[in-house]
Amino acid sequence: MRLGEMVIDVTPLRSASAYRLVFAAQTLTVLTTALTNVAINLHVYQVTGSSVQVGLVSLVFGIALLGGLLAGGVMADRVDRRRLILTTRSVVAVVLGGLAINAAIPHPMLWFVYVAAILAGAINGLGGSALMAAIPSLVKPEHLTAAGALITVTSQFGAMVGPTVAGVVAAGPGVAACFAIDALGYVAAVLLMRRLPELRAGKPDEDHQHPFHAIAEGFRFLRHNAVVRGLLLIDLWAMLFAMPYALFPQMGTEVFGGGPSAVGLLYTAPAVGAFVGALVSGWAGRIRHSGRALIGSVLLWGLGVTAFGLSGELWLGLLFLAIAGIGDTTSEILRRALLQHHTPDHLQGRVSSLWLAQATTGPAVGNAEAGLAARLLGPAGGIVAGGIVCVLGVCLVAVTMPGLRRASLQGEPCHSPTSTA
């Protein structure tokens, strides 16, 4: 493969005008949402002085997001996805505006923050499933991997740049300005995506299907589709057993002997690796054996996390975390493309919602598991043990699920794009 083929493929931006609108809107909101992610925690702590309250707000948001994703998956397979995306993003902009006003008044109301967290979580969930389900309708099948890689690179860029910008804004104009900027970002995204074509999905005879039956149909599809089931299962091993983020503060201070700056570097290193991995992801859409590449990328994550736990030196630990980040973003790009490639259009919303729900809840459970393992084995020992379990689990999935090993993006997709504008 030539060096030029390693660089991220920007063909979807050149050939699909509708996708360009989504990409621009997503890039904008990823950056502005990073401000709110930092500001909301800082705001709650300023109001209450309690880390417990900060954690509770995050928990409430996560639960609401999970419910919104499951409901949104059903809705995305029944209604015009464009309308659902625009409506939900408009409502979130209003909620963020309310947070900005609440933060600006002399005595901010904590109850309003909780209400806003519930509304923002649920509504973002409704729209998130629709947005992911819409992507296969906006690009040609052979460009699915590239489209996913471009979305991923914006997410990783936001993860690197957003928190720093949020800190500067919060220290200057204040947290209310962070919320206001995010609200304006959502408004701008709505204005961009108003130009999208209609994205109607689903089968006419399913419009009156009971929501629980509709969700059950999504689970039945997972049970019978070896590729989609396999890619969800292999990611579960990585999220549950090789998720070291909760241990970074302890690793930075006790193992590496650093302070807050060392901890910050530990959180930054995987995002840097992931960003680099996305930039050189052009090969992912050109190889024949996509399933094998997915297995290899998850193995790279598990091995990188294991090596991080064994490193003992900060610079070496950062290097291994960056390598793990490359594996993580490569895995995300391939999983997203394989899921969309092997899922019929009328099920894209529900299957996307299950994938997003797993991606939302899995890391939280994995970080909790890492904390318990650290109490038994120490922080480094817990990370090493989790990494080894992840590697063994990935090998088990690879051996027992030949359908995943044979998966490819080169064949005819299950969906039938309704638009390639």
User: Tell me, what CATH number does 16's domain have?
Assistant: 1.20.1250.20
Q: Residue 352 falls within a domain, yes or no? A: yes
CB neighbours of residue 104 within 10 Å: 15
Q: Which of 144, 166, 200 is the last residue of a domain?
A: 200
- Domain around 135: 11-200
Q: Are 153 and 275 spatial neighbours (Cβ–Cβ below 8 Å)?
A: yes
Checking if the pLDDT of 14 tops 70, the result is yes
Residue 23 has which token pair? 């990409």
**H runs (alpha helix) in 77-143:** 81-104, 110-138
Residues 338-383 have pLDDT tens digits of 888 888 887 888 888 888 888 877 887 887 788 888 888 988 999 9
Return the SS3 of 80: strand
DSSP labels, 243-301: --GGGHHHIIIIIS---HHHHHHHHHHHHHHHHHHHHT-GGGGT-S-HHHHHHHHHHHH
Q: Is residue 418 part of a domain?
A: no
Whether 419 has a pLDDT exceeding 50, the answer reads no
Q: Are residues 43 and 71 in the same domain?
A: yes
Q: How many domains are contained in the chain?
A: 2
pLDDT above 80 (res 40): yes
Residue 4 lies in a domain: no
276 and 343 part of one domain: yes
**Is the domain of 372 the same as that of 399?**
yes
247 and 156 co-located in one domain:
no
Contact at 8 Å (CB) between 367 and 211? no
What is the 8-class DSSP label of residue 146?
A: H
Residues 186 and 252 in one domain: no
pLDDT in tens, 106-156: 999 999 999 999 999 899 988 888 888 888 888 888 888 888 888 888 887
Residue 417, in any domain of the structure: no
Instruction: Take residue 22 and report the two structure tokens written for it.
Output: 């989504």
Whether 195 maps to a domain, the answer reads yes
Rounded to 5°, angle at Cα 270 from 161 and 295: 130
385 pLDDT tier (thresholds 50, 70, 90): very high
Q: Do both 184 and 227 map to the same domain?
A: no
Residue 272: inside a domain: yes
Task: Say whether both 20 and 160 belong to one domain.
Answer: yes
Question: pTM of the predicted model, to two decimals?
Answer: 0.76
DSSP per-residue string spanning 159-175: HHHHHHHHHHHHHTT-H
361 domain residue, yes or no: yes
Q: Give domain status of residue 146, yes or no.
A: yes
Distance (Å) of CA 277 to CA 91, 118, 322, 326, 333: 34, 34, 9, 5, 10
Least confident of 83-87, 267-271, 365-369: 365-369
For residues 188 and 333, membership in a common domain is answered with no
